[in-house]
Structure 1
Amino acid sequence: PMPMEQAIIKYPSEHRPKVIYTSSEGTINITFNPTDTALEAEELPDFVEQMADILRSVQPIRNWLGTEMVTNCSGLSVGQIRFVAAGIDGNLYNEMLLFIHNGRVVIGSFSCLEADLEVWLPVAEYWVQSLSVLPPSIYSTNEKGMTTP
């Protein structure tokens, strides 16, 4: 889990993702952010395209790689948005995942330095395929993302 001090710097908005995992160097990040946006499954493809339009208008995008809808091995419908954007330490590969959980959109993201993309792209692809929605846990989650009984 990314320490809160680092999360505040890397994601300065008060609306930073709720769950952020990072590599020890802070160069690989995976986030999940449940939203309050209610959506039906058949509305997800249009929502993904709307999000892509917003991203293209507000992000310093260096290379737009596109959008795609996939159904992963657990049967979850996932919208993907991929692009390379300028970052502080160099260009960053970004992959956003949008899926529906309990009738609400969840936005996930994977990012790594563009220079490391060849190594990390298989991980991003595996992440999409391994994603599944689990029933509620009996464990609570603390602010650092770890579970406690």
Structure 2
Amino acid sequence: MDKRVDEKILDFINATEKVEARKDICSGPVKIGGRYYEFEETEFFDEKLKMYIPKDFEDMPQDTRKFKYPSENRPDIIKCNEDGSIAITFKFIDSPLNEEYVEKLRDIMKLINKRLNPANVFYDEEILEVDEKNIGYFDFKSSAIDDFLYNFIFLLELQEKTVMGTFSCSFSEYEEWKDIAILMINTIRISKEENSKII
């Protein structure tokens, strides 16, 4: 009896370790859905911010940007997969922000989103401490023209201003990508150099 229990415990530990190994995006390919993704550290805003994202994500073409983000206030940076169905974006907002205000800003952004889109279904909200920075996030399900989307919004301070990032994918892939989005946020590194400003 004891031997069978021990074997079950070992099986559980081995299975857990395999899952954890698959979720380390900084040390080799990770299986997400039906394929493997390799992640690499990518620089944004003139090397001021670095984050691991899928290696094969590229800048979204201009015509696709205008279609998917019709507002002139679209993100500064849009990295996406081949068909544009999964995207990571960054927007540098010339609005003052300090570490203590990140949580309040997240709550305000979530409230605005709720008021503008009452049909959205909201999930989690949290403050992560990454590289000595507070990063606030919330996530939700929204409807598109012919699909439901999963949206992960995160906010942080950079050079005393606001950076808003997003991760989005089809809602059908939500369970595969949510933990990965959080892992990507946890790889954010901010340059300590303050000599050159973004704007």
- Superposition TM-score tier, normalisation by shorter sequence: 0.7 to 0.9
Instruction: State the Cα deviation string for residues 108-149 of structure 1 (Å, max 9, x = none).
Output: 00001110112222320111101122357xxxxxxxxxxxxx
Per the TM alignment, residue 60 of structure 1 is displaced from its structure 2 partner at its CA by 5.3
The corresponding residue for 1:46 is 104
| Matched AA of 1:10 | K
Q: What stretches of structure 2 of length at least 5 have no aligned partner?
A: 1-58, 194-199
Q: Does 1:98 align with 2:155?
A: yes
Q: Distance in 2 between matches of 1:120 and 1:44?
A: 24
Instruction: State the Cα deviation string for residues 78-105 of structure 1 (Å, max 9, x = none).
Output: 0001100001231111000100000001
Is the 8 Å Cα contact of residues 60 and 85 (structure 1) preserved in structure 2? no
Is the 8 Å Cα contact of residues 60 and 86 (structure 1) preserved in structure 2? no
Q: Distance in 2 between matches of 1:135 and 1:14?
A: 31
Larger CA Rg, structure 1 vs 2: 2
* Aligned mate of 1:119, from 176, 194, 197: 176
1:123–1:89: structure 2 CA closer, same or farther, 3 Å change rule? farther
Per the TM alignment, residue 61 of structure 1 is displaced from its structure 2 partner at its CA by 3.8
* Aligned mate of 1:23, from 47, 64, 81: 81
Farther off after superposition, 54-63 or 84-93? 54-63
* Aligned mate of 2:189, from 126, 132, 137: 132
* Greater relative CO (CA pairs within 8 A, separation 6+): 1
| Matched AA of 2:78 | I
Farther off after superposition, 50-59 or 102-111? 50-59
Name the TM-score, length of structure 2 as normaliser.
0.64
* Aligned mate of 2:128, from 57, 70, 76: 70
* Aligned mate of 1:35, from 76, 85, 93: 93
Stretches (4+) displaced over 6 A: none
Q: CA RMSD in A?
A: 1.4
The corresponding residue for 1:88 is 145
Q: Distance in 2 between matches of 1:61 and 1:2?
A: 28
Q: Distance in 2 between matches of 1:26 and 1:54?
A: 26
Q: What stretches of structure 1 of length at least 5 have no aligned partner?
A: 137-149
